[in-house]
Copies of this chain bind each other. A is one copy, B any other.
Amino acid sequence: MSIILFLDFAGVFVFAATGALAASRRQLDIIGFIFLANITGFGGGTVRDVILGDTPVIWVKDPTYLLIGTAAAILVYLIAHKIESRYRALLWLDAIGMAMFATMGAAKGLSLGFGPSIAIVMGIFTATLGGIMRDMVAGEPSVLMRREIYISAALAGAAAYVALWSLTENPLYSAVPATLIAFLVRGGALLFGWKLPNYHAKRGRTTKELERDGIVPHDD
C-alpha cells in the first residue's frame, strides 16, 4: 500500500472517530454514531472530488471507506464512556486526521495534474471540510472558528508536501515530513494556545447589540 493510500485510510479512520465522539456527546444511538462518523470521515474528500469533477466519488467506487468509517464508529461506541474527556480526544484525533488529509489532499491534487496552488487548496479543503460538516450537523461550535491556529496548520502541511514533492518526487519523503509539520503546528496550538497575531480585530456585536445600535432593524 502506498503512503498516500495509507494516509487516506488512516485519515478516514481518525476523522470518523471524531465524528463518533461528537455523536457520543450528543448521546446518539449506534446508527447515529455510524452516520456522523462516515460524514466526518469522507465529507472533505467528497467535496474535493466533486469540485474536481472526479465522480462517482471515491467511497462509492471503493466500499473499503464505508467499512473503515463504520469500524471507527463501532469502536468509539464501545469505549467512549471510558474516555475521561471526549472533547479533548476529539481535538487531538481531529489534529491527526487534519494533518494526514492536508498531505493526502495535496497529493491527490498533484496526481490529477493540477498546479501547486490548486493542490494546496485541495489539501486545505480535504483537511478541514469533514470537521466543518461534523460540527454543523452535530450543532457544535466549529473548531475552525476558534482563535488558535488551525487552517494555517493545514496550509503548512499541504505547502510542505507540494514543495518536497517538487524537490524529491518521492511520496514517502514528501508525505511523512509534511504530515508531521501540520500535526506539530496544530498540536502546539492545542497545547500552548498558539495564535497568529490578529491585528486590531475586536469581537463582533451580537445580533441583540446590532439591533440595539440600529445596525439591523428589530426582527420581530
Contacts and interface: CB of A to CB of B under 8 A. Distances in A.
Given A27-B203, A63-B115, A52 B55 contact: yes
Interface stretch (A4-12, A94-102, A167-175, A194-202): A194-202
- Number of copies of this kind of chain in the complex: 3
Interface of A: 22, 24-32, 35, 46, 50-53, 55-57, 60, 63, 66, 77-78, 80-81, 85-88, 91, 114-115, 117-118, 121, 124, 128, 132, 136-139, 141-142, 144-152, 155, 193, 195-205, 207, 210, 213, 215-217, 219-220
Nearest to A128: B35
A198 B121 contact: no
Nearest to A89: B215
A196 B144 contact: no
A20 to B, nearest CB: 11
Nearest to A109: B60
A29 B149 contact: yes
Contact of A137 (B114, B144, B195, B220): B144
Given A29-B196, A53-B56, 20 more contacts: A27-B147, A27-B201, A27-B203, A29-B195, A31-B151, A32-B150, A35-B124, A50-B50, A55-B55, A60-B114, A63-B115, A66-B117, A80-B201, A81-B200, A87-B205, A88-B215, A91-B216, A136-B136, A139-B142, A193-B217
A220 to B, nearest CB: 7
B50 A60 contact: no
A28 B137 CA distance: 22
Contact of A151 (B35, B118, B213): B35
Name the 7 nearest CB pairs between A and B, nearest first: A25-B204, A53-B55, A29-B196, A81-B200, A31-B152, A27-B201, A193-B217
Contact of A145 (B53, B66, B137, B146): B137
